[in-house]
Chain A
Amino acid sequence: MRKQVLIVGIVFIGVLALGLSFPAGTRPRPAERTDCVPGQVLLKFKPSAMLFQKAAALSLTRSRAVSRIVKLDVYTVQIPDDMTVDEMVGIFGRNSDIEFAQPNYIYRAAVTPNDLYFQYQYALFNKGQQTGWVPGSPQGLPNADIKATAAWEETTGQAGVIIGILDTGVDLTHPDLKNKIVGPGYDFVNNDADATDDHGHGTMIAGIAAAETNNNEGIAGVAWNCKILPVKVLDQFGTGNSVKIAAGIVWAADNGAQILNISSGQPALDSTIENALKYAFETKGVFIAAAAGNDNTSVYYPAAYEKYVCAVSATDYNDQRTVYSNFGWELDVAAPGDSIISTYPVALTPAGFPPYKNGDGTSFASAYVAGFAALIKSLKPSLKPGEIMDIIRYSADDVNASVYPGRDQFLGFGRIDMEKGLVPLKITK
């Protein structure tokens, strides 16, 4: 009886082993995983493996070596058509002559747009390059950026998310913006439905937040697919007043903007503006980013209305606070604001020059935050504006931690980091 049991057991294990190791050669190629080169496995034999052992390992598995990295002694092996990469990795892995076997993984570059001037946009991706096309432009510190290329792996935004640009208007015909604008907007300076920019500031803000991207032209915007709602509340000199700005906030909130950018301010409390912000934030669920101001003094209003507004100061290409940034405990975060290249109205650009311009200021820093907020809203539409603000705050890099650890009066929680705010955080033990 014991002998019978032994024989059946051996047959059983043998059938099992055959079934698992060498499936019939007639089956079609099984579906492959998509993260590696189909039909290929990388192998490294142990130094002790003799030539005949290597040949046997390949021939017994109906595989053949197609190339070899000589200095690493790693072979690229073509596997049989009826086997998957995982199956072959498993089979080779059981061979005691083989040091390792692995799929030939496919590597992809982080999302890099093909826009002409992207190479100068250190704020999005800083590898230490020159910050402008003018020879002698300063070079930045690698990684002093908002980690945009990594974040774009997760999302480049949704067209349904609209960023209201409350500023000097937007060039509605600009080649890098015309396809991104949801409509002519509204002009509260001239009281008409044509928010064309006659100053330039608003067009620069719009370009930073959401220029058309990956179109072989101009610059990359933070929120590639989100739309722009132009709201002209500042005149051709870049000035406005409480009434126009408050009316613009309410109009933008009522006309579909989920994100607002206000890159203007003044030092006094303004209850009219505060009421408009409250309406947009609490009643309409709008996220609002605003520039802290450029006078190296206390944070200006409306940025200083901390309950409703994400107040933004500016850093430079070395992750240092810019000397002009306003400061105070109302600050939430910082973003790059120095040597920022962006779109500029075609009508205001001298003939023969491209409609793009460099600028400095917390205005531009605020536009990065507005774009970031639009991406968060695109990915998680149910979030409330306060929650979006918290994500932006808590994911910021505390770049001045060596001097002011934690939240401080100069950079708030730190320079924004879109990767941390958007890409899933890997949680290990």
Chain B
Amino acid sequence: MPLKRIAAVVCFACLSAIIFRPVDVRAQDNEIGGIRIKPGLGVEYFSRTIVWDEGQLSSKLKTSIGFLRAEIELQKGFLLGLFGGYSLSNFNGTVFRQLPFSIDYEAGNIGCFFWGADLDKTLFSIDPYEIGVQAQFVMSLGRQKELAISGLNQTGSLNGKGRWQRAEIGPVIRYTGYEDFIPFLAISYNKLWGTFSMAETVQELTGTEEKTISGGGSIGIAFGTTFNPSETFNLKAEITALPYKKTGGGLDVDYGASIKAVVLF
């Protein structure tokens, strides 16, 4: 666990160094040894059904994230994105029944830093279509949220900490028939997993419970578009739908949306 944290911090530091490095404004989009680097920013929201207690129970993980991003064009048609930022994850509906006093968590968002990376590689083109592969990994670093227990005749406190990771990979098809507007459709294997732990203290009574959570579905479909209205601005908007099997049977769909902007200041 410390190694993971160190790795995360190092990656975040590298990312920050890339984004905030002191460079000549005119050189922001310069080639460095044949590699083009563009800074950017973005926001994402996703609502993901998570199952816990060995799939017996489920709730929604609703997450809003804001991030800074560096897009590195390693070669023509091969992009590496590194990003990091702050996320607000809402684990409402998670119930901890193994703590001395059972807890129904409804206290809203837990904020934490996160980092991630994505790859986008164009494999081949059949004019006007382009076929490629996309992959992404996001890892939230987790942070304690302290809460008070009310209703008992003694004071009590809780420490909640939620962490999640998400990995996805899959093919993407783009229509390149328009100059500034590239719609795309992607299918991905999308895995989300993590933990939500809660420590309880009421006087000398203490307990800890950790929920292992996992995303309800694994195959998602995303569609969206990239706008390239100018040389200095690039906008990518995307909507994701992820079907999952409900714990009580039947299918439902989770949705997510993201907007990423790459700007040359």
Contact = CB atoms under 8 A, between A and B. Distances in A.
Interface of A: 1, 4-5, 8-9, 12, 16, 30-34, 84, 154, 379-380, 382-383, 387, 390-391, 393-398, 406, 413-414, 420-429
A420 B102 contact: no
B149 A31 contact: no
A413 B246 CA distance: 43
B92 to A, nearest CB: 9
B108 to A, nearest CB: 6
B106 A426 contact: yes
B32 interface: no
Interface string B97-109: 1101111111110
Interface residues on chain B, size class:
35 or more
B35 interface: no
Contacts of B105: 427
B174 to A, nearest CB: 13
B108 A30 contact: no
B3 interface: no
B225 interface: yes
Contact of A5 (B180, B202, B239, B250): B180
A14 to B, nearest CB: 13
Contacts of B100: 380, 383, 387, 390-391
Given A1-B180, A4-B181, A31-B246, A426 B203 contact: no
Given A394-B153, A394-B156, A425-B152, 8 more contacts: A31-B246, A31-B250, A390-B205, A394-B205, A425-B103, A425-B149, A426-B106, A427-B107
Given A30-B250, A380-B100, A5 B178 contact: yes
A429 B107 contact: yes
20 contacts: A1-B178, A1-B180, A5-B227, A9-B181, A9-B225, A12-B225, A30-B252, A33-B248, A380-B97, A383-B100, A391-B100, A391-B101, A394-B154, A394-B156, A395-B152, A398-B153, A420-B101, A420-B152, A425-B152, A427-B107
B207 to A, nearest CB: 8
Summarize B's interface: helix, strand, loop or mixed: loop
Interface of B: 95-98, 100-108, 147, 149-154, 156, 158, 178-181, 183, 202-205, 225, 227, 239, 246, 248-252
Contacts of A4: 178, 181
A425 B181 contact: no
A423 B102 contact: yes
A429 B108 contact: yes
Give the top 7 A-B pairs by smallest Cβ distance, nearest first.
Answer: A31-B250, A424-B102, A424-B104, A390-B205, A5-B181, A394-B154, A426-B104
A91 to B, nearest CB: 15
Given A9-B181, A12-B225, A31-B246, A394 B202 contact: yes
A36 to B, nearest CB: 13
Contacts of B156: 394
